[in-house]
Chains A and B, each alone.
Chain A
Amino acid sequence: MSAATPAPAPAASSRESIALSVLTNPLGLIAAILLVLVIATAVFAPLIAPFAPGDLQIFKINAPPGDGYLLGGDGSGRDIFSRLVYGARNTLIGALIALSVAAAIGVTAGLFAGYFGGRREVVMSWIADGLMALPALIVLLAFYQSLGSSIQVSMVIFGIMLSPGFYRLTRNLVNGVKHELYVDAARVSGLSDMRIIARHILLVIRAPVIIQTSIVAGISIVIQAGLEFLGLGDPSVPTWGGMLQDAFANMFVVPTAILWPGLAISITVASFVLLANAIRDRLQQGNRTAPASKMPKVVAKPVGAAPTDNDLLLDIRELVVGYPGKTGWTEVVKGVSLQLRKGEVLGLVGESGSGKTQTAFSVLGLLSTGGRILSGSIWFDGRDIANLPEDEMQKLRGKRIAYVPQEPMSNLDPAFRIGFQLTEPMMTVLGISRSEAKARALKLLAKVGMPDPMRTYKAYPHQISGGMAQRVLIARAISCSPDLLIADEPTTALDVTVQAEVLELLRDLQAEMGMSVILVTHNFGVVADICHRVSVMKDGKVVETADVRTLFADPQHDYTKMLLGAVLDDVTPRTYRPRMLKEVSA
């Protein structure tokens, strides 16, 4: 094997491109210009300021603007404008000190804790938590006597107190990437830890650290001004906070004097925040789409008249579903037509991304954020529900159309007991009392094969297994005797043995209650086991619909043949039903 060159970190755009695109954002550009102005003011203060910051003119105490003093005089007769200019210098130096200390300690500790983990991480995290539990200003006040009136020394201490922010950020980022394949590849190829950190991990943490830096700069400026305002700074050094202190002392004489230093602080801090926001927006741009509110309004027109066949429960006609993309609607379902009779089980088969789940969610009226039915009709029991208002749709859900999800554990609310999650829909949908709902829930739990219904009733979701959770979800779905059950890959997330039991349960319940079922799956084994008819979907379209036996015996479409071929190569179609499993589950 030749020396592997680890692939570069994904999504790591170069510094130049970030800087450029931040400047194309109007707010980012304004913030950058303001910051450059503040920094230039600080650097060239002696050239800009008309007076030295300490120049006194006794007749200009609290003087109004004019006569050489652009913004008037302060309580000692010094030029407010000149002091603002020199204040920028001292403020930025203080912020830079706090920032450098915080970033140096926090990022280094975060890199080591995140990369090496173990006991070091525990200790460092404990220290970080401890530092975060201290009110920084109180600590700085307490230390004032020993630190002296040099605000710069205080800012070093403040930097230490701010370091947990950098530490946590860096540690979490490193924890997130250290097991990425490209980092593993670098390790396998023999790069030393230091090289990996320098080459791969620093690249990932760079942008978030820059954002944090910008925000910490803002915090430092505010806290520094606060300390100076309290009189903890060196009175001979012109600072924005010190100027506020002076203005505060003369507030009843010249109330407007409090404006200038405060504005200087606020504008500088706001520039840092806006810059951070602009960088963040830039980083998030990759996965951003046009907001749904800006998309053209669409109202799907009914296709044809209501079906006359009373036996037909669901009649989907030419359904088109779209999501807002970067350039208009991206269609994920492209003209699907499906029919479902009463008491029939329809398998909806296809690879992931074929639009089968989106079709199912359209029937429930539960497309993800931004998703729309662009055209087509969904006739359900003689009514087109494709454009039904949300409150009308809500009355159908649970009562007439129910849903069993794919991943059982994430579909139960972790904060509530199973019992509550079973009784709440019954009380809402059927309007029955709590005690009646409880009695029914316990019966349902027994029916879906729970060995100890009361125990499950009282359990929290994290206390039961995945298979049990799926049974609970099935119990909840059938609790209000729906006409249509939509099961979205109900067995995919379960162990193989449990899969068979859950399918068995679904089949028994369907037969007993006579409800219609749409079973979304990619598994032909499941289809063969339980479905009457099958529709095969590919790229948002139905390519073939047939009776289940016909489809297995004589697939028409190439895609169906391919799918069947992929499954059936090493598996013989099941011709028997594992009856003994039912006894176990009953």
Chain B
Amino acid sequence: MLSYVSKRLLSSLVLLALVTTLTFAMVFGGADNVAQNILGDNATDQQIADLETKLGIDRPLYEQYGTWVAKAVRGDLGMSWTMGESVSKILSGRLPVTLSMVVLAIVIIGVVSALLGIAAAVRGGWADRVIQLISVVGFSLPNFWLGLILVVVFALNLRWLPATGYTDFTTSPTGWLASLALPVGALVLSGIASASQQVRGAMIDALRQDYVRTLRAGGIKPSSVLFRHALRNAMPAALTVLSLQFIGLLGGAAIIERVFAIPGLGSITVQAALSGDIPILMGVVVTMIILVVIVNIAIDLTNAWVNPKVRL
């Protein structure tokens, strides 16, 4: 298992290096008029040249990259070009906001999909039809449009929930929940659409296995056959789907945070993309990849624990 984790970490490091290099080349290669963007149209050539020197983007690309990597491995992601603060500080302030939203969404997706998927696999009938309907609707409604509709209905018309903004959990747990209710509601539908179908499929597969019949033949209670034996064998497939959902949610959060004016990683990414704040963008890419790697390793370890055949 130790060798598995180290292998996985090594592979992730290679991925991280490749993606950051590529991003760096793409992003900084296109940074010709960053100084112009930052200073505005009235800037003189001298001002632009000064700023480029200050930001270091007048140097050759490989030199800039070397500097960035040398700092990044020590945890220093540089200074934001537009916000006057260090990238690490900005991102660490925003990461918990996005994470709390995404984790809440994942938990809801997991629970609802498990219940729906199991019901559909075991009973068929109404649960099956609900899943089929959700799979089409959830896939077809863009989450940000759903978010807008939720705002119009629940915030503008019914006035039940705030339309925008974010309340920290430590400030007020109920306020936190209220501020996240609509964004998370908008995020989970498409996740439930795909995850519930996967759970259903995995459960149907598990229930078709020979040992399920043999367990029943041995007088084992139906609840144990279902929840202890079949569910445990269906778990790896379901968990893998959740890890893909997590990646999708990180992207989805970017748009949803914009709709609900939530100060998370997603909204700062959009802001940085529009203003050309490259250090922030690089920082976001690094943070996201590390998050995904952690989640994937955690899911693999859980799978190995659930399924003794998987040798790590």
Contacts and interface: CB of A to CB of B under 8 A. Distances in A.
A401 B278 CA distance: 71
Interface string B254-287: 1100110000001001101110101001101100
For A135, A139, A255, A265, the residue with the greatest tally of chain B CB atoms inside 10 Å of its CB is A135
B173 interface: no
Interface string A385-425: 00000100011111101110101001111111000000011
Nearest to B33: A145
Contacts of A413: 211, 215, 229, 233
A132 interface: yes
Contact of A145 (B15, B31, B135, B213): B31
Contact of B247 (A135, A390, A396, A414): A135
B250 interface: yes
Contacts of A135: 247-248, 250-251, 288, 292
Nearest to A396: B219
A34 to B, nearest CB: 11
A403 B220 contact: no
A141 B273 CA distance: 6
A480 B219 CA distance: 10
A238 B53 CA distance: 39
A462 B141 CA distance: 45
Interface in B116-156: 124-125, 135-137, 139-142, 144-145, 148-149, 151-152, 156
Interface in B177-198: none
A143 B291 CA distance: 20
Contact of A395 (B124, B219, B266, B307): B219
Interface in A135-182: 135-139, 141-148
A133 B289 contact: yes
Contacts of B266: 138
Contact of B251 (A136, A251, A415): A136
A269 interface: yes
Nearest to A368: B213
Contacts of B140: 218, 265-267, 269-270, 273
A403 B251 contact: no
A137 to B, nearest CB: 3
A99 to B, nearest CB: 16
A230 B256 CA distance: 10
B312 interface: no
Interface stretch (A47-55, A221-229, A549-557): A221-229
Contacts of B285: 138-139, 142
Given A218-B140, A230-B270, A460-B309, A255 B27 contact: no
Contacts of A231: 270, 274
Contacts, number: 218
Given A143-B23, A398-B220, A133 B15 contact: yes
Nearest to A416: B229
A407 B288 CA distance: 46
Interface string A369-383: 000000000000000
A230 B152 contact: no
A415 B293 contact: no
Nearest to B37: A145
Interface string A461-472: 010000000000
A230 B268 CA distance: 12
B40 to A, nearest CB: 17
A231 B255 CA distance: 11
Contacts of B83: none
B150 to A, nearest CB: 11
Given A132-B244, A135-B250, A142-B285, A398 B144 contact: no
Nearest to A291: B124
B158 interface: no
B142 A142 contact: no
Contacts of A141: 254, 269-270, 272-273, 281
B170 interface: no
Nearest to A258: B148
Given A231-B274, A251-B152, A462-B309, A411 B210 contact: yes
B73 interface: no
B296 A230 contact: no
Contact of A394 (B19, B148, B221, B278): B221
Given A143-B26, A395-B219, A415-B308, A134 B273 contact: no
B203 to A, nearest CB: 13
Given A132-B244, A145-B34, A274-B136, A415 B233 contact: yes
A130 B18 contact: yes
Nearest to A247: B148
B30 interface: yes
A148 B31 CA distance: 11
Interface string B203-218: 0000001110111111
A476 interface: yes
A415 B222 contact: no
A477 interface: yes
A410 B210 contact: yes
Contact of A248 (B34, B252, B259): B259
A455 to B, nearest CB: 15
A142 B156 contact: no
B210 A143 contact: no
A225 B156 contact: no
Contacts of B139: 215, 218, 269-270, 273
B240 to A, nearest CB: 11
A265 B217 contact: no
B29 interface: yes
For A145, A402, A415, the residue with the greatest tally of chain B CB atoms inside 10 Å of its CB is A145
Interface string A262-297: 100111011001100100000000000001010000
A126 to B, nearest CB: 8
A143 B213 CA distance: 53
Contacts of B215: 413
B211 A265 contact: no
Contact of A414 (B152, B281, B309): B309
B224 interface: yes
Contacts of A138: 250-251, 254, 266, 269, 284-285, 288
Contacts of A255: 152, 156
A138 B102 CA distance: 15
A415 B232 contact: yes
Contacts of A576: none
Given A134-B19, A137-B252, A230-B254, A414 B27 contact: no
Given A136-B251, A142-B27, A402 B145 contact: no
A137 B251 contact: yes
Interface in B79-117: none
B70 interface: no
A366 interface: yes
Nearest to A430: B219
A364 interface: yes
Interface in A38-61: none
Contact of A266 (B141, B220, B296, B306): B141
Nearest 9 interchain pairs by C-beta: A146-B30, A398-B219, A137-B251, A403-B217, A135-B251, A262-B145, A270-B140, A135-B250, A141-B273
18 contacts: A126-B11, A142-B26, A145-B281, A146-B26, A218-B139, A252-B156, A266-B141, A269-B140, A277-B136, A395-B219, A397-B219, A401-B217, A403-B214, A405-B213, A407-B210, A410-B211, A411-B210, A415-B232
Interface of A: 126, 130, 132-139, 141-148, 215, 218, 222, 225-226, 229-232, 244, 247-248, 251-252, 255, 258, 261-262, 265-267, 269-270, 273-274, 277, 291, 293, 364, 366, 390, 394-399, 401-403, 405, 407, 410-416, 424-425, 428-429, 460, 462, 473, 476-477, 480
Given A134-B247, A398-B218, 4 more contacts: A133-B296, A137-B252, A273-B140, A396-B219
